[in-house]
A = this chain, B = another copy of it.
Amino acid sequence: MLRTHTCGELRIKNVNETVTISGWVQGVRDKGSLLWIDLRDRYGITQVTIETENADKQIIDTARSLGREFVISVTGKVAERYSKTDKIETGDIEITPDKIVILNAAITPPFTIEDETDGGDDIRMKYRYLDLRRNPVRKNLELRHRIAIETRNYLDKLNFLEVETPVLIKSTPEGARDFVVPSRMNQGEFYALPQSPQTFKQLLMVGGFDRYYQIVKCFRDEDLRADRQPEFTQIDCEMAFVEQEDILQTFEGLIRHLFKTVKGIDIPTLSRMTYADAMKFYGNDKPDIRFDMKFKPLTPKGETYGFPVFDNARLVVGICAKGAAEYTRKQLDELTEFVKRPQIGATGLVYARYNADATIKSSVDKFFNEEQLKHIASQMDAQPGDLILILAGEENKTRKALSELRLEMGTRLGLRDKNMFACHWVIDFPMLEWSEETSRFHAMHHPFTSPKPEDIAMLDTNPGAVRANAYDMVINGVEVGGGSIRIFNKQLQAKIFELLGFTKEDAQAQFGFLMNAFEFGAPPHGGLAFGFDRLCSLFGGADVIRDFIAFPKNNSGRDVMIDSPSPIAKDQLDELGIGLKK
């Protein structure tokens, strides 16, 4: 070993020991009579101090030749520092070197290797191996490692088996966003990379595995939005002989275990909210409940509002921002601009300031008298000092817009602290959603999701009203996991495929092996999957999952470090039996 200790472990108790440490030169300071080298490795930084008056010329020369990021090893005695620092954990000691060996020189890196770097995103992605040297990046990946280990420990104790499912699977027309892999040995045929191990984990349940999990790479070839990756990781789980309640308990337990062991935080029992309530109170199926600010519907005091915008709207709904009555005209204009942005899509914003002196000043004073405004304030549960914000219009669109406004207000009012964690379940999702685009029902979760037994009769009469045994875990307004109780009966599965517009032949061709498997004694089963990258970023208090992936791709799906994807040789294409379209 080219060291006896890491750069993070020497303490006052080691004084007078002769040690060897190795690492990267963080910096050299030369004061003439004193020379300091800060030596860094994954574990910390240790200071090497040379008194030029007493030191060997060779050591001084070597030290003066060092540049940033040189890799060196230093052998010497641990000494107590004159001026101790508590900025680094080794701040009580320093090394008086007897020997410095340059293991590898380094050219100057294109950005500084410090917590706050001068490198932009692009350059740091190109030199990702240098970016990985920075503490914040490495700590993210250490956190990821720790979450993975604790996930496995928790599930292992509950008798879950980690089973690797195949990566080279079968493409299905459903899988419009499958990555495919041409087979050399079976020319003209393709494997597909899994978007999830869904069918395999269900087959493991049919195979009696009882409890399965896997931390597994999945793949989706879709146009990448800001924070999507073509390859991503899931904690994928499935259990047999369970009901929804068992799944909720088990994985609520996992999340609480992770918060406890990884972050030292006790998370209370997770509350549960139906999908219907989530939409009603937050306009969102993954509400951020770190703060309240629930939607309140508005009704006129008399027959009508006497305000055409409200009177002509399908829905008039508002939120009450506590203590925000002091908002300036400029701030209110910003909010109006915010809701009118095309991606939000509201036509305007009605606000009313419930002043501390109990007067109300609104943007619609022309239409409403004091009494009417008081009525509104009372419907909104507003108190003096609060700001009322109201949207009106078509129902779904208005809820969606108000949801965005609510989140914006939460952010502005500092109610969305990244170090606070509000975890809850959203349950009772609808089974199907109607697509205007394709004029048919789509599965809201996926086609293997079981309807609620009490709703099955409605499959024939009112499919859109059928609720599923499906659930999402939401943390701070982010859907970190979701799953369902599965169908385990061939006839019901066939019926659902039919509702989803599959012909019998299509269903058999694509999912025949699963439906056949159900005939051989499938147990009741269900499960869920967590988005592991997202979970890690939440634990890390960050927004961007890319920072929690060692070698991420950019928004065009490119790895700019290795320059991939890239063209391949013609004879390689020939051997695969494929050609490029002109």
A211-B179 Cα distance, complex, nearest whole Å: 32
Residue of B whose beta carbon sits closest to that of A207 = B132
A180-B181 Cα distance, complex, nearest whole Å: 6
Contact B170 A564 (CB under 8 A): yes
A512-B503 Cα distance, complex, nearest whole Å: 52
Contact A70 B521 (CB under 8 A): yes
Min Cβ gap A21→B in Å is 9
Min Cβ gap A326→B in Å is 48
Contact A563 B106 (CB under 8 A): no
Q: A129-B203, A130-B207, A189-B566 are in contact. Are A572 and B517 (CB under 8 A)?
A: no
Among the stretches A137-145, A383-391, A538-546, the one at the interface with B is A137-145
How many residues belonging to A are interface residues under a CB distance threshold of 8 Å?
A: 122
Contact A173 B550 (CB under 8 A): no
Contact bitstring A569-580, B, C-beta under 8 A = 1, else 0: 100101011111
Contact B577 A578 (CB under 8 A): no
Q: A520-B107, A578-B580 are in contact. Are A133 and B208 (CB under 8 A)?
A: yes
Query: Does A200 lie at the interface of the complex (its beta carbon under 8 Å from any beta carbon of B)?
Result: yes
- Return chain B residues, CB-CB under 8 Å to A203: 128-129, 132, 551, 561
Contact bitstring A120-156, B, C-beta under 8 A = 1, else 0: 0000000111111100001001101100110010001
Residue of B whose beta carbon sits closest to that of A519 = B107
Query: Does A331 lie at the interface of the complex (its beta carbon under 8 Å from any beta carbon of B)?
Result: no
- Return chain B residues, CB-CB under 8 Å to A576: 180
Contact bitstring A352-379, B, C-beta under 8 A = 1, else 0: 0000000000000000000000000000
Residue of B whose beta carbon sits closest to that of A177 = B184
Min Cβ gap A486→B in Å is 12
- Return chain B residues, CB-CB under 8 Å to A553: 166, 168
Contact B209 A166 (CB under 8 A): no
Query: Does A434 lie at the interface of the complex (its beta carbon under 8 Å from any beta carbon of B)?
Result: no
Contact A164 B207 (CB under 8 A): no
- Return chain B residues, CB-CB under 8 Å to A191: 179, 564-565
Q: A166-B231, A551-B165 are in contact. Are A188 and B567 (CB under 8 A)?
A: yes
Residue of B whose beta carbon sits closest to that of A185 = B557
Copies of this chain per assembly: 2
Contact B167 A1 (CB under 8 A): no
A223-B104 Cα distance, complex, nearest whole Å: 42
Query: Does A433 lie at the interface of the complex (its beta carbon under 8 Å from any beta carbon of B)?
Result: no
Min Cβ gap A26→B in Å is 11
Min Cβ gap A212→B in Å is 9
Query: Does A161 lie at the interface of the complex (its beta carbon under 8 Å from any beta carbon of B)?
Result: yes
Contact B71 A522 (CB under 8 A): yes
Q: Which listed residue, B107, B170, B187, touches A563 by the CB 8 Å rule?
A: B170
Residue of B whose beta carbon sits closest to that of A223 = B185
A199-B564 Cα distance, complex, nearest whole Å: 14
- Return chain B residues, CB-CB under 8 Å to A152: 149, 152
Query: Does A29 lie at the interface of the complex (its beta carbon under 8 Å from any beta carbon of B)?
Result: no
Query: Does A246 lie at the interface of the complex (its beta carbon under 8 Å from any beta carbon of B)?
Result: yes
A558-B566 Cα distance, complex, nearest whole Å: 27
Query: Does A60 lie at the interface of the complex (its beta carbon under 8 Å from any beta carbon of B)?
Result: no
Contact A180 B568 (CB under 8 A): yes
Min Cβ gap A214→B in Å is 10
Between-chain CB contacts (< 8 Å), 6 pairs: A41-B208, A133-B207, A163-B550, A164-B233, A168-B230, A185-B221
Beyond A104-B488, A179-B181, 17 additional pairs, beta carbon < 8 A: A1-B241, A6-B210, A109-B520, A129-B517, A130-B206, A132-B208, A138-B209, A145-B156, A145-B162, A149-B162, A152-B152, A171-B566, A173-B569, A185-B223, A191-B565, A574-B581, A577-B580
A-side interface residues toward B, CB under 8 Å? 1-3, 6, 22, 24, 40-43, 69-71, 73, 103-107, 109, 127-133, 138, 141-142, 144-145, 148-149, 152, 156, 161-171, 173, 176, 178-193, 199-200, 203-204, 206-210, 217, 219, 221, 223-224, 230-231, 233, 241-243, 246, 488-489, 513, 517-524, 549-551, 553, 556-559, 561-569, 572, 574, 576-581
